[in-house]
Amino acid sequence: MFGFLKNHHNNNELLSVSDGKIVNLSDVNDPVFNTGIMGIGYGIVPTDGTVYAPVSGKISMIADTKHGLGITSHDDLEILVHMGIDTVELKGKPFDILVKIGDEVEAGQKIALMNLDDIKKSGKDITTMVVITNSSDKGLSVSVKSGQRSNGELAATIKL
């Protein structure tokens, strides 16, 4: 409803990439993410399959299997949006990427669609992870705002 507010994004915030329940990465059912190997961030159990950019920046990576994409923020944070757990095995079928590498995106901009029903029917977890993959290089931490969120709402605050 107030989409114009989403363009005024604070650089130390990660916005919710979907409607759903925000959880700490340590609560995600995947050791690659819950141990912090990939970096810091948050997970979300989405109630809607539309995925929005958590930060403003440039699309730097799109997985061949469409289950993940990278955004380089304007302050050089590498953000990975990983849609579902073990969804690489689905070979892109439940995903539609709406951006391409090199595109500039605004925080809160629609970037992908995922078919939650198809992911669930395949036996995969729909939890989506938003991870700062270069957080250890920059000495960052995050404070996750757990609970129900709508896309574009504050999901985590980045701390130096």
List active site positions: 82
Nearest residue to 41 (alpha-carbon basis) of 9, 67, 13: 13
CB half-sphere exposure, 13, CA atoms < 13 A: 17
Nearest residue to 40 (alpha-carbon basis) of 122, 120, 118, 136: 136
Instruction: Give me 112's structure tokens.
Output: 């992908």
Instruction: Give me 3's structure tokens.
Output: 């989409």
Residue with tokens 């114009």: 4
Alpha-carbon distances, residue 10 vs 15, 74, 138 (angstroms): 10, 11, 18
Residue type, 119: I
